[in-house]
Structure 1
Amino acid sequence: MADFSLGDGFERFQRDMERSMGDFGRIQERIKEAVGRGESAEGRITAEFRTEGGLTALTMDPRALRLPSEELSEEIRKAVNAASQDLQNQVREASSTMFAPSDRPDQALDPSAALASLDKIANGFAGQMKDLARELGLQQQRAKEAMENYQGKGNPAR
C-alpha cells in the first residue's frame, strides 16, 4: 500500500493554525468578559459597558440627582463615554497580543500589521491546500495504477 503523508510542512502549518485558533478563542473570551467602567461627577455617577449589551449598568448617588438637568445629562454622558472608552482600550489590548510584533508585545494594535498577519495566514493556508490537492492527485493516480496492475495480472474486476 502507498504511504500517504502530507509532509512536515503541512503538519507544522496545522499546529500553527491550531495554536492561532486557540489564541483567537482566548482573545474572543477575554473580549466577551471585558467590562468598561467610567465615572463622572466626582464618582457620583458610574457606568459599565460591555461588548454584549452595551451600557449594562448606570448608578447615581442621590446627591448627583440634585444637579440641574442639563448638567446631570452631561455627567451621565461623560460616565457612559468613559466606560465605552475603557472597554475599547481593553479590547485593543486583548487583540494587540495576537497581532503585536513579537519583539514589541507592548506595542498597540497596528491595523496594517493585523491585516498583514491575516494575509500571511491566508496565503499559508492556500499554499498548503494547493500542496494537499497535488498530493491527493498523486495518491489517486497511484491507486488507479495499483488497481490496473492488480487487474492486469489476471485478477478479475469485481
Structure 2
Amino acid sequence: MEQKSIPTLYEWAGGNERLEQLTALFYGKVFQDELLEPVFRHMSAEHTRHVAHFIGEVFGGPPTYTQTDQGSHADMVSHHVGKHLTEPMRKRWMALLLESADELGVPDDPEFRSALVGYLEWGSRIAVLNSTSAENPVQPGEPMPKWGWGVPGGPYQPS
C-alpha cells in the first residue's frame, strides 16, 4: 500500500505566490489603518515579500528568507525591538491578517486554520513581548522557528 506524504503548511497554503499575495493584501489594509499605519509607515518596499518568505520558511517552504533575503530569525525579531507594540495593535494585526486570508481564499479547513492561527497568535504575542525590550533576545545563529500541523511536543521545532 502506497503511503501518502503529508504536505507542509507552506504547500497547503499555496506556496510562495499565495503567501506574497496574502502579505501584499494585508499590508495594503495596514496602511489604511489608523492604529497600525504609524508602526509600519517607514517599512521598505520589500517588506511584504520578506514577511511572506519568512512565513513560508517557518511553514516548511524553501529557505528563501535566510538564503535569498539574507535574513534570520534574529533579524526578524530585531524589527520589533523597541517598537512598544500594544495588545490592541496585536489584535488589530491578527484581525486584518485573517480577514485578508479569507478574502484571498487561503485554505479555511479547520486543521490548516488552526495551525495558521496558532502560529500567528504565538508570533504576534512574541513580537509584543520583544517590542518592549531594548535588546534582541534572539542571538544570531539561532534556528528559524518551524511550524507544522500540531505535532506532539509543541509547535516550535528547531531544525
TM range (shorter): under 0.3
Instruction: Select the structure that is richer in strand.
Output: 1
Higher relative contact order (CA 8 A, sep 6+): 2
Which has the larger Rg?
1
TM-score (norm 2): 0.27
Instruction: Select the structure that is richer in helix.
Output: 1
